[in-house]
Structure 1
Amino acid sequence: MRISDKEVHDRRWMGVGRSSLSDSGAAAADAVRRALTGPDPKLLVVFAAITHDTEAVLAGVAGAAPGVPVIGCTTHGEIGPGGPADGTVTVAALGGAGLEVATCVAEHVSGRQGDAGYEVAGCMRQVTQPHRVLMVLTDGLVRDQESIVRGCYRALGAGIPLFGGAAADGWRMSGAYLFKDGQVLTDAVIGAAIASEAPIAVGVRHGYRTVGQPMIVTRAADGRVLTLDDRPALDVYLERLNAPPQAYTDPSAFTAFALSRPLGVQRRSGVEARNLSTEVDLEGRSIGGGGAIDPGGLTWVMTGDEESILDATDGACQDALDRLAGHEPIGMLTFSCAALRAVLGDEGIRREGERLERWAGTMPFAGFYTYGEIARNHGIDGFHNQTLAVLALS
């Protein structure tokens, strides 16, 4: 017997609320009230603009939904119905008898990223429903995010998909913040085990293609590639792309050039994109944005455009929804990259939002622009740049 839509939405539901009120506490309370669309709320996921007072945001959330577990972070822009926005508090709520949620946090992460990932994966032991995902939110200013993902894999193995993103601070690069119940955290990782009686699925795509022959990482350290094919990595990268002369010597020219030309890293799941534009090292002639790139690995220079990026938006949504195996979706979380936002510009992200709205239809969706995306269905790696990561729930 087919379960009716009403029964599905009573047992498992997702709601989204957004508020553009300038008062941080009032905006948070308003967004929470709009998001609470069903019975038995299990989790609130809060995406707050960096311009908001974070303590006031959490106070507003707690006042509007006392006792409901809360996770979240600051953003480089908030994603939701009505298009991308800045300056809002956007909240996704999950609930119903058919969902279980358990949350935990690891602090003082720098220098022990792998162990922190292992620790937050422990919350998966607290849920029992058959369809599960570990959602991970990280401090986007912590280096070597890939090790956090690998720590989760060490704890969970290949059977549990991962989804998440790195908190952002609007390109200030001075302090991105995580939320866990009433706490505002830095140098931390939050884990949320989400378990359901119905399928949960992860999709991820980037819109970049490799250019030319691969290069070998011959020296790497601290999330940076020092040499490619035994030559300074920055020079090899720029030469492969016939970069203008000023990109070799001027930091702003390098950033502008590299923004739409990530480094491709060979992984078991394919070639992943790594943003190079946030950390310029013209003196040391190295490249990298903080993600782990192992010596001996294959890399490519990559390029893309608005059309290929928006096609990847479609692909990520399609992949996630297809993995629901025909079950009716109740909502999506959609995490896109701050670097993609810079590449697309205001009109491009508006069109990205329109693509998301078409895929969502009448179901709610919410997310944020991140300093890195987490998505893994198989394999040990799963930290991405310049991608769209989608979590679909049914």
Structure 2
Amino acid sequence: MGTDRWFGVGSARSACVRAGARAADEALLHDDAKLLVVFCSGAPDLRALVGEIRKRAGDVPLIGCTTAGEIAGTGPNDASVVVAALGGAGFAVETAAATGASADLRQAGARVARCLPTREDLPHKVLMVLSDGFAGNQQEIVRGAHGVLGSAVPLVGGCAGDELSMTETFQFHGDRVLTDSIVAAGIASDAPIGIGVCHGWRRVGGPMLVTASAGNRVSTLDDRPALDVYLERLNVDRFARPSRDGLARLALTHPFGLSRRDGDEVRFISGADFAERSLSCIAEIPQGALVWMMEGDASSVLDATDAACDDALAALDGRRPLGMFAFDCIARRNVLGGEGIRAEIDRLAAAVPRTPVAGFYTYGEIARTRGLRGFHNQTLVVLALG
């Protein structure tokens, strides 16, 4: 790996007092870093952790977020910190943050999209976006960024996590720890960039018509309360009134599939109003759409891992990647189980041996390579840097 373009990854258990410094030291292969990306558990003192990393890296641009689990080439982890660093003359990077994002997610997406470098000698570009999934309909971020960048620049990234507490997530920009925000890094490169997207879920049973919805809230399916229909499809007694935690566990492995011309988009069910009997999703489900119950197993999810890697690598025109980012939905982790998630990361690492890998388990994934749509749920997104 020449110093004109390089990519490094470091990881450490976040229970260690100097975890941030240790992970940063491993990632910083050379002294001309252009970007640090940090994924970590929400358990430690986040400001102290980011401060440790900044002490090692100085004023190198930094973005990151809390997670529902961390990914490195050595395997999946909880309660850890992963730092990825890229640098060299073959990259140019600018970063941005939009706070108070929930007030206008489309405008927030547009604000961070303006950080993309405009160097003609670095023609390959991507915008990496890390967001607060609790801020509202995440598809609005994609629409806002698309309004600034158009269709030529792909978007990639994911929604921050909080270890399935489902209460509050945090995003990092420079030395700041934020919430209700979007952080982004515009990356320009002199080599190709590849993105792969695949989910591994399949339809179960017949379709349901969305007869009343607004944004990311579904009120009725087939003219009946959405929560009641959902529980009946899962053979759960609607009068049993499962707890919010119980519903969250069901939803992790039983998302909705939204019919599209190029395949099914998966929608994660993030909660319910037990009085109104409505369902909430991380992204919009339009009124009049057809949706299906979806399910998957370890085999289908791992097949999707292979497909996403293959698609990302195919876009590199035969070049060996410097490194890869993986944005993997927490629901896929629940399907795979402990042994399965290690097998998944082993497959990512084996796709190109000795290639550094960094990523996290998300509450939603961003991958827009064409068209206006680009927000996904319960999907794996792989970014390969050529």
TM range (shorter): over 0.9
What's the secondary structure of 2:114's corresponding residue? helix
Question: Hey, what's the Cα distance between the residues in 1 that align with 2:55 and 2:348?
Answer: 31
Corresponding position of 1:130: 123
State how far apart, in whole Å, the 1-side matches of 2:176 and 2:285 are: 32
Unpaired stretches in structure 2, ≥5 consecutive residues: none
Deviation track 1:60-115 (CA, whole Å, cap 9, x = no partner) reads 11110112111101111110022101111110001111111111111111130011
Match of 1:191 among 184, 187, 190: 184
How is 1:35-74 mapped onto 2 (pairs within 5 angstroms)? 35-74=27-66
Query: Are 1:297 and 2:272 counterparts?
Result: no
2:371 aligns with 379
How well do the aligned residues superpose, as a CA RMSD in angstroms?
Answer: 1.8
After TM superposition, give the deviation of residue 253 of structure 1 in Å: 4.7
Confirm or deny: 8 A CA contact 1:46 1:73 kept in the other structure. yes
Whole-Å separation in 1 of the counterparts to 2:247 and 2:99: 34
Matched, 1:181 2:169: no
Tell me the equivalent position of 2:146: 153
Q: How many Å separate the matches in 2 of 1:247 and 1:328?
A: 56
Q: Deviations over 1:259-297 (max 9, x none)?
A: 211101134542111112x31333322223231112222
Gaps of 5+ in 1: 1-5
SS of 1:345's equivalent in the other structure is helix
Structure 2 CA distance for partners of 1:84 and 1:296, relative to 1, 3 Å = same
Q: Indicate the residue corresponding to 2:20 in structure 1.
A: 28
Quick check: 1:145–1:290 contact (8 Å CA) kept in 2?
A: yes
Question: Match for residue 390 of structure 1?
Answer: 382
Deviations 1:102-135 (A, max 9, x none): 1111111113001100111111254442111110
Identity %: 48
Measured against aligned partners, the alpha-carbon deviations of 1:196-249 in whole angstroms (never above 9, x if no partner) come to 11100111110101224433322112411112232222233344x352326863
TM-score normalised to structure 2 length: 0.94
Q: Distance in 2 between matches of 1:94 and 1:191?
A: 15
Query: For the Cα contact (< 8 Å) 2:267–2:281, is it kept in 1?
Result: yes
Secondary structure of 1:164's partner?
A: strand
Could you say if the C-alpha distance between residues 171 and 255 of structure 1 is closer, same or farther in structure 2, counting changes exceeding 3 Å?
closer
Alignment-mate amino acid for residue 275 of structure 1: F
Measure the CA separation in 2 of the matches of 1:343 and 1:57.
Answer: 31
Instruction: Give the whole-Å Cα distance in 2 for the aligned partners of 1:35 and 1:247.
Output: 52
TM-score w.r.t. length of structure 1: 0.92
Q: 1:287 aligns with which of 279, 299, 302?
A: 279
Amino acid at match of 1:13: W
**Which stretch shows the higher mean deviation, 208-217 or 29-38?**
208-217
Question: Number of matched residues?
Answer: 384
Higher deviation after alignment, 285-294 or 98-107: 285-294
Instruction: Give 1:320's aligned residue.
Output: 312
Match of 1:103 among 69, 82, 95: 95
Is the deviation greater in 119-128 or in 187-196? 119-128
- Give the SS at the match of 1:179: strand
Q: Which amino acid aligns with 1:205?
A: C
* Alignment map for 1:166-315 (pairs within 5 Å): 166-239=159-232, 241-245=233-237, 249-251=241-243, 252-276=245-269, 278-315=270-307
